[in-house]
Every structure is written in C-alpha cells, then in structure tokens.
Structure 1
Amino acid sequence: MNNTKQKPNRPDGELFRREALQHYSSAGNSPGDVLRLSPSWLGWTYRLLVGCFAASVLFLCCGRAQEFAEGPAVVRAGERIDVTTDVAAIVSEVLVSPGQRVETGELLVRLDDARERAQVDRYKREMAASVAASLRNPGDESSRGQIRSLRSQLDHARRQLALRGLTAPTAGIVLDVRTRSGQSLQPGKIAVTIQDGAAAYTLVAALPGHFKPQLEAGMPARLEINGYPHSFQHVELLRVADEIVGPAEARRYLGQEIADAIPLSGPVVLAEVALPGNTFTVDGVDYPYTDGLQGVVQIRVRSMPIIVSLVPGLRSLRKGTDHGFSP
C-alpha cells in the first residue's frame, strides 16, 4: 500500500493551487464576492425591525395621550315648575296627562271639595237672606253687621274652595303627573310638573370632583345617550358649580324622582351642559330629548405626547396643554 501523502499541486512559493489559478484566469479575472452564509429571510427581518423601531419612535413623539373627565348626566327640562298642594285632601279628578300643553290658570287637578263647596253655598244663602232682611228694614243695624260678617266668611270659604283646585302657574307642557284619582295628597306633595314652554332642555352632569380646577365654561364635550352606543352628540359646557359635593347632595339636586337611578360614588362637581337643540340624531334619525333621559358626558381635560406621559421629566418643557373635542 502506498502510504505516501500526495502534495497539493501548486507552484513553489504560491498560496493557491494551480487548478484554482487556472479557474480564476478562465473567469476573466472578475473579482470574487463575499460568502453568503446567512439565510435570505434574515435580511428582511433586520429591515422590518428597523422600520418598526422608527415607527415606534415616531408614534411616541407624534401620538397623544388624552385624559377625560367622565361622569353620568341627566337631561332636565329647563324652568321646571312643580305644582304642589297646600292642604291635605283626596284627589277627586286629574284633568291633564304628560305631554299636554296647558295655559296659565288652567285647572290641573281637582281635590275633594264637597265640604268647602257646601260652605260656600250656605254662606251665599245666608248672605242673600241678610240682604233681603236689610232691604225690608233699612234702619236695622244688626242686619248690616250680619252682612259684613257673612261677607268675610264667604270670602274665606271661597279661598278654601280655591285651594281644592291645583292650577297651572304658567303656560307650558305637562312633564309628569304624580297623582291619580282617589289618592291622598299631603301638604307640599308634588302633584304635577310643568315645563315652561319657552325654556329649552339642559344637561346636568356629575363629574369627578378632582377635575374641578381643570373645568371651565365653554369647553367642548360629547354626550353618549344610554341605549344608543357610539352615537355621540357634540355639546358645550355651560357652567361649573363653585363647590364639590357628595353623592347625596348631588342626587338631591338632580331630583328625587331619578336620584336612585344615578350611579354616583365619591365627591363630584355638578356641571350644566348646553344642548344644541331639543332632539338628538342617531343613524340619521332624530329623536326628541325627554326629561330624565340619562347618558354619559366626556370632557377632554388634558392631551400630551405619549413620550411626555412616559417620561414625566419632559413635562417641565411644556407650558400648557390643549383640551376639548373638535366636532
């Protein structure tokens, strides 16, 4: 067996073999290329990562983080007038219904007035008899004194009879009727609620109390009516209360008839929001606002670049913030 090791076929003093030099010469002395040992997808991955990093930096610098003051809101009829009774009585008849237009002085609810009406009729008869007696005997001073006494009693009986009828203090629309025939009414009890015909609807919102220093009149906001998701109505903040109150006081202000339906927790500040009209639009259809309709109000109180919110030290470089919604 020939165990001798064959030497490479290369000229003396040359680094490359003769076959390699011949192949290089036959290729026209073109330069070689870098060995490509990495897979082809690695280059595309690198470019993708660089692009994502650049997009992230651009998003952090140009994107904005926003903070909202959000809270429940209730539509209230402007110039609500509660018609109450001053006497304890049984309801005899209810003459109006919700949505009905009434005029000033129109009778709304008639209370049981049988006793008062009987007294008026009795004093009228006695008055007529006293007047007839005075005419038969003009010099009788006792008849004249009796006439004066009966006239005073008759006027008092008529005033008591007038209290048995609840009338509209102003022209408007009946919003709510809270009584029915046969029901017992106590003094101060609300029987009918009327909206002044010339007044518009307003929106009362209960916003978190810590946003009070950042809220001011004229700030744009948006309203989402409960039951109509993603249908935002652009509204404007009309006025903000001067003090922060607790949930119980806020519910008292919103009204006892809907107080239990408003979810409140913690201190709140009440704000009045102006509605652009008496209707709101959802999917191209107009719906009327009604008293007691609930929703959620959002007011943008702060907007800053995302990078500033991530690096709080950069806030000192900014002298102000913008807020509000653009319709």
Structure 2
Amino acid sequence: MEDEGAGLFRTEALQHYAQGGERGGLLKLSPQWTGPVFWVLLGACVFALVFSALVHVSEYAEGPAVVQLEGRMDLPSPVRGTVASVEVRSGERVAAGQVLARLGAAAELAELERYEREFELLLRQRLRSPSDEGVSQALASVRAQLELARARLEQWTVRAPEAGIVSDVRIRRGQHLAEGELVASLMREDSAAVVTAMLPGEYRPLLAVGKPLRLELRGFHHQYQELTIDEVGGELVGPQEVQRALGPTLSASLQVNGAVVLVRARVASRSFLADGERFPYFDGMLGEADARVRSQPILLMLIPGLRAVWP
C-alpha cells in the first residue's frame, strides 16, 4: 500500500500525465439546472428594480364626511309651551306663511276670543249710533287690544318663512318644548348638496382647490362618487370647532380625533348612482372621503435616501 503522505496526486495519474495522455477536465459539482435558474433570478431582479422605479404609489388623506343640503332652515320654537297640533309631514311642500305647528296657548286664545266678541258688539253699536263719540273711542281701544291679542297668539304659531320642502319634523302632539328648541327644518327645492370632509390636519399643505375628492357613502360600499374640492379651510380645527361648523346634530354622529381641516366639495346632482340605480342625497348622510396628496415610486419608499439624487 502506498503511503498516503507520499504526494498530492496518485502515482497512476502522474505517470499518465508524463506520457502525454489526455488531460482531464475540472470537476463539476453543480447540477445542470443552476445555470438557467441564475438567469431567471437575474431577470427577476432587473424587472423588480425597473418596476419599483417606474410604478408610483399614491398616499391619501382620509377622514369622515357628511352631506349637507344648502338652503336648510331650522325653525325653532318661538316660546316655551306644549305642542297643540302638527300641521305638516316630512317631505311635504309648503307655501310661504303656511302653518307648520301650533303650540298650546289657551289663555291667549281665550283673550283673543273675548276681544273679538267685544269688538263685534261695539261695531254693531257704532252702526246704530254713528255720532256716538263714546262708542267710537271704545271701538278704537278694543281694536288695538284685538291686534295685540292676535300678535300674542301668533307667537305660539310656527310658520314657513318661505316656500320649500319640509325635510324634518322633530315634534309630536303633546310634546313640551323649550324656547328655541327645534320644531322642523325647511329646504329650498333648488338647494344643492355639499360634502364636508374632515381630513387629517397634517395634510393641509398638500390640499388645494381643484384637486379630486372621492366619497364613499355609508351603506354603499365600494360605490365611489368622484368630486372636486371647492374649498379648503385656512386653519386646523378641533372637535369643538367641528361641532360649531356642522351643528350639534350632525357632529354628534362623527368621530373626530385631533386637529383636522375642513374640505368642501359641491355635488353636481341631487342624486347619486349606486349599483345601477339612482338615489337622492339626504341632509346628514355620512361617509368616508379621501384625497390624493402625493405620489412617489416604490423604490423611493423602499430606499428613502435616493430622494436626494432622484431626478
């Protein structure tokens, strides 16, 4: 047996090489499929690099939104009292001056009826005795009291200040109302819908008039309304300012955290399209709005340091 430490190569191999025999090739330990896989991986890396450099990812400012109908008039109770009758229903068209509700005014009504009887009695006496100055003076006094009684009774009546559509009736017969409490709301027939969105305040420098705003109403998932920003608030506001801007009724339905900026967009139509059908907008409808504020390649998102040299 040959000594294992006699040399690096076997004796037979050295003799074969010295006699000019055929030289051997390199020993290949890798399987044949590694070559194609290498080129596939290289191509995938190049494709990923080009894809991340060319494809942009957008960033959006998102927040709650509410639909408001312009021309809404809230009609408060002029006095404190109990509702005697409700004369209209929601959705009913009314004329200017039409009675919407009456509050109980038993004392004022009794006073008015008493003056009306006295006025009628004196008027008859005046017709019988046209020259009686005492009757004439009494008739003038009762006429003044009668007008005053009518004015007092009118304070217990809620009328429509102009023609429109009753959008909301908040009272029922027998309900006790405090002075200033909401009785009903009136909408003009030609009133337009406006969307007010509350977007995060940190995006205020990136928001501008004319940029797109997308609205998704609650209950209509993935049914987006494409709008255009008409107004952007000049300052950031908190929950209390939002409540003053929208009113206590609407703001109570919204969850606002931190400073926000109010963004408004006018809706072109009083109805919207969802699932192939048209539905009307109603005052107070809630939803989610988003506005695109910036767009950048994926590569810059993965490697922010490239922004300094990116063209």
TM-score by length of 2: 0.86
Does the 8 Å CA contact 2:78/2:156 hold for their aligned counterparts?
no
Stretch of structure 1 that moved more, 274-283 or 179-188: 274-283
- Change over 3 Å in CA distance of 1:139–1:266 after alignment to 2: same
Larger Cα Rg: Structure 1 or Structure 2? 1
Tell me which of 267, 280, 285 is aligned to 1:275. 267
2:170: which partner in 1?
Answer: 178
Structure 2 CA distance for partners of 1:8 and 1:130, relative to 1, 3 Å: closer
- Equivalent-residue separation in structure 2 for 1:91 and 1:102 (angstroms): 20
CA offsets per residue over residues 257-282 of structure 1, 9 Å max, x none? 23222011001111211223222222
- Contact 1:251 1:262 (C-alpha < 8 Å) held by counterparts: no
| 1:253-272 pair list within 5 angstroms | 253-272=245-264
In 1, the alpha carbon distance for the partners of 2:84 and 2:147 equals 23
Alpha-carbon distance in structure 2 between the residues aligned to 1:79 and 1:246: 26
Q: Does 1:150 align with 2:142?
A: yes
Residue 168 of structure 1 aligns with which residue? 160
| Deviates further, 146-155 or 308-317 | 308-317
Give the percent of matched residue pairs that are identical in Structure 1 and Structure 2: 37
Pick aligned residue for 1:14 from 11, 16, 19: 19
**Contact 1:85 1:186 (C-alpha < 8 Å) held by counterparts:** yes
Kindly state the Cα deviation for residue 251 of structure 1 after the two structures are TM-superposed: 2.4
Which amino acid in structure 2 is aligned with residue 245 of structure 1?
V
SS in 2 for 1:160: helix
**2:59 alignment partner, one of 36, 57, 67:** 67
Runs of 5+ consecutive residues of structure 1 not aligned to the other structure: 1-5, 22-31, 320-327
Tell which deviates more after alignment, 58-67 or 176-185: 58-67
Aligned-partner Cα distance in 2 for 1:80–1:163 = 22
| Distance change (3 Å), C-alpha of 1:11 and 1:53 | closer
CA contact (8 A) 1:116 1:160 kept: yes
- Partner letter of residue 211 of structure 2? M
SS in 1 for 2:174: coil
Partners of 1:10 and 1:246 lie apart in 2 by 94
SS of the residue 2:190 aligns to: coil
Cα offset for 1:45? Answer: 2.2
1:54 to 41, 46, 52: 46
Matched-pair contact (CA < 8 Å) for 2:200–2:260: yes
Rounded to whole Å, the distance in 2 between the matches of 1:188 and 1:263 is 27
Match of 1:237 in 2: 229
Shift of 1:10: 7.8
Distance 1:226 1:34, change over 3 A: farther
Q: CA distance change for structure 1 residues 234 and 11 in 2, over 3 Å: closer, same or farther?
A: closer
Shift of 1:14: 3.1
**Secondary structure in 2 matching 1:217:** coil
- Give the direction of change, closer, same or farther, for the CA distance of 1:228–1:114 in structure 2 (3 Å limit): same
* 1:68 positional shift: 1.1
Unaligned runs of 5+ in 2: 1-10
Contact 2:201 2:261 in 1 (8 A): yes
Query: Aligned pair in 2 of structure 1 residues 236, 33: CA closer, same or farther (>3 Å)?
Result: farther
Aligned residues: 301
Cα deviation for residue 119 of structure 1 reads 1.8
Q: CA deviation at 1:64?
A: 1.3
Matched with 1:117 is 109
| Cα distance in 2, alignment partners of residues 194 and 59 from structure 1 | 56
1:121 Cα offset (Å): 1.9
Partner of 1:27: none
In structure 1, what residue type is equivalent to 2:103? Answer: L
| Distance in 1 separating the partners of 2:12 and 2:231 | 100
Residue 318 to residue 92, structure 1, CA distance change in 2 (3 Å): farther
Corresponding residue of 1:301: 293
Letter in 2 for 1:270: L
State yes or no: 1:210 paired with 2:202.
yes
**2:186 paired residue number:** 194
CA separation of 1:40 and 1:12: change in aligned 2, threshold 3 A? closer
